[in-house]
Structure 1
C-alpha cells in the first residue's frame, strides 16, 4: 500500500462477547497490530486501548469505552498527532451502520488520526488520491458489519424465544442457574431443593407474614447462628429483602434481556420452572404487606414495644415513631420542624386504643358468617389484582423504554399492545371486584360477635405475642390518626357519666380508620379521664389519660 512516514501508532482492540474473550481473539488482534507496526515502520505505543466485552453495534465503545478515552486524550493533547490508530477492520470501531461509522472516521481524520485496518492492509488518511474510494470502502465495510450484527442479534433473539417457548411448553431448562436453595442436576435436567437452605427461606417468609420486618428477621437469624445463604458472609436486612422479592420461591422464572447496561424482563414469568418452596397464599400475603408498607423496611422497635407500628400517623400526614426515655412516647416524624403536635404517652395510648377497639361492635362494622369470609376473599383478590396491575404498568414502561432505545418493530408493537390490553383487563377486574365488595359489605350479617379484642391483652407480655397483635391489628385497621387541641365534641357524653363544665371541649382525638373504610373518632376529655367515641351511636367509658 506504499511507504508511510514514521509516526506513533496506537492499537485498538475490541471483543464484544465473553466467548470471544475466552478464545484467541485478543491475542490475534494484538499480534496483527505488532506485525502491522513493524511492517510499516511505525513506533507502536505501549499504551493499548481495549474494549473487551463491549458492543460496537450500539456504540457503547464510542460513548463510554476505551475508544471514547482515546478520543478524549487526542482532544486534550495528551496524545500527539498526527498518529495512527491500528485496528483489525472498520467494524472493530463501529457497527452502527454507514452514517454513524463514516462520521466517526471523518472525526478521527479531522483530529489528525489516521486509521489502519489490518484485514485489508489499508491506511485511511483522507489526503490520498484514493480518499473517495477509501470513504466508500469504509462505508461498505461498516454497512456489512451492521447487517451482520443485526442478523446475529435476530438469531440470538429467535434462539432465545425458542428456548423460552420450549421452557413454557415442555419444561426444559434454559439455564442451569438457580437460587441458592436449589441445585441443578444435568442428568435429569431438573432442579433439586436443598432442604436445609430452603427451610431458612421458609422461616424468613413465616416471620415476615407474622409482622416481623427485615431488621428484626436479621437479628433473629444472627442470634440463632443461622448460616447465611449465598456468597454473603453474614445476614443483613438487604439480604433478607432480596429473598423476600424472589419469585423463584413460588416456582417462577423471569427471562431477562440486556438493554444497554441494564436488564429488563422479557415476556411473562415462566410458571413451575423451579420447585416451589412457598405456597401461593403465603407469597400473596407477603406481597400485600410489602405493597401496604411501601419499601421493605425493618421494624426497629426494641422488643416490638409499639403494637400499632405502621398504623399511627399525625394529622399532618407523617407517621408517629416510638421514642424511648423514662416513659415511652410516640411523636410525629416532623416534630420540631414543620409539625408542632405534642407527643403521646405510649403506655396510656396503647391501653386506651385497645379499650376503644374492644368496645366496638365488630359485627355491625364488619359483619360475620359466610358473608364475612366472602368479603375477606374478595378483598384479598383485590389486593392481589392491584399487585398484578402494578407489574403490568411496569411492563408497559419497560417496553416504552425499549422502543425508545431500539425503535418500534412489529414484535415490540405487538408486545406493547398486549401489555396495554392486559393492563386494561386488570383495571376492569378490579372494578368488578370493588362492586362485589360493596354488595357483600351491605349483605354482611349482623348476628353474633365476630371478633373481640379482649383476648389480645393475654398476648402483650412477650415479643412474639406483640408481633402477632400488630399483624392482627393491621389486618383490621388502615391507620390511626392522632391529633390534639381543644375541639368541639362530636358525640354527646353519656348522661350517667360525670359531666363537668370544663368537659364541654375535648383534649384531642384518635381517628381509627378500618380497612373496610369505616371511621371511628374517639375523643379524650380535657381532664384526660374520659374518652367518647361513636360507632353508630354515642358510647362512652372511663379510661386513663392519653396525651401529655
Structure 2
C-alpha cells in the first residue's frame, strides 16, 4: 500500500500539479463481486459523487483498473462509466492511462478498458476455481485419511508432525494432539451445564477463577471469557470427535454451508456421549426473565458504524442498551450504544413508513418465478412417468419371466437413480421459488405491529419473536449511527431541525456536544439502501415518541 500511496502522490504533484484531497483504502475487501461498493470505501466514494460532495473535474488515481474492481466485465464497465459520466477522470498509474469522457470516445481506449476488465475478472475466476478445487481435495483427504488439513483447529487441540520441505508444508505425518489441561476444563464446563448452571454463570465462574481465555482474536487482546464462546463450546459436536467439512456458499464473505456428511472420529474425543447429551437438555431450555422483554426487536441484525455486531446489555440501572460486542472492543475502538426502548420505538415507526412491496420488488423476479414454476411442472410430469414405469417393472418382476428379469432389474435400478435425481431437482426448484416469493409477495404482516402496542406494553415475548422473524426475512442488516453522522451525507440541516425540535419539546437549546439525533440504515434483502434520521432520547420526554427528521432512499420506497 505504501508503494501505491507514494506513486499516487508523485503523479499528483509532478504531472497533475494538484493536491491530494482524500484517500480511499479498501484493505482486505474483495472487488470480485462489488463488495468494495456495498461494504467498502469505493461505495463511500460513489456516495459522495452522487451527493455532490465530490465535484466534476476531480481526478481518481488508482494503480490499475483491477484495483478498482475485479467484477464481471459488464458490471465493471458500468462502474467505470458512472464515475466518468459524473465528470471524474480516472488515472491508472501502471500505464499512465487517463480515462475521461474525451478519451472514451476513442475506440482504442474503450477496447483497452474492456480487455483489462475481462482479464482481471478471468484471473479472479481462475484463482477462485483453483482454490475451491484444492479445498475439495483436502476435504476428501480428511475423510479418507483422518488427518489434519489445516492449522485452523479447535483450541483444545494442537497439530504435530507437520514438516516443511522445499518451501512447502508436508502434512503426511500430521496428527492431532489433545491439550489435556484445556480438555479437562471443557469437561468441567459440560459438567456444570449438565447440573443446570446457566451460560452466564459458567462464564462468570471462569473469570472469577482467573483462568485465561483461549483468545485467538487479534483485534481483542482480552483474557476474559465471554458467554458467546461458552455457548459455542456447549453446542458443538467437535468435542465428540466429529468434523463437519464446510465450504463458502457464494463467495469469500458468504455464510459457510455443510460440504458433505460429518466425519466421525476425526478429532480426538474429549467429552463422553452421556455428558454431552445431558448438557443438550439444558441447552434446549433457554431461561426466561419475567417482567422484562426477553427479545430485542432488532432481531440480531444491528451493527455499529464500524461493522461490529451490537448486543443487548445494561449501561445504567434503569436503561438497557444495544452496545458494541465485547469481542470487538479494543483500545482504539469506539464503543457505540443506543438505548433499547428508543430504538424499538424507532423500528416500529420506520416499518410503517416503508412501502415494503416496492422496496423488496425486483422486476426480474416475476418472469423468473414463472419460469421456475414451469420447470416444476415438467419435473412433476417426469416423476410421474418414472413412477408409472417402476410400477410396470414391478408387475413384470412378479410374474417371474426368467431371463427377462435381469434386464428389468437393470432398468429399475436406472429408473430409481433418475427418480432420486429428479427428487433433488424438485427440492432445489421449490427452494428457489420460495426465495423469490418472499420478494414478490407484499409482506403485510410486518405492518400490523404499531407504536401503540409498544406504548400499551402489548409486545409479549411471542409477539416480539414474530416481529423479529419477519424483520429477518425483510432485512440483511441494520446499521446504527448514534451520532447521526454517515460518511458522504451532510447532516447540518438535520442538526438544525433536531435542535429546533429539541427547543420546542424540552424548552432548552441542546449543548454543542450533545447527541440530539441518530441515524438508522437498513439494507433490505433486495439490497435497497434506506436511511432514517431520528430524534435521540436526550430530547424526548416520557410522553413523546421519536420523530423522523429526514430520510434517504427512492421516493417509491417510502409512504407519503
Of Structure 1 and Structure 2, which has the larger fraction of its residues in strand? 1
For the pair shown, the structure with the greater C-alpha radius of gyration is 1
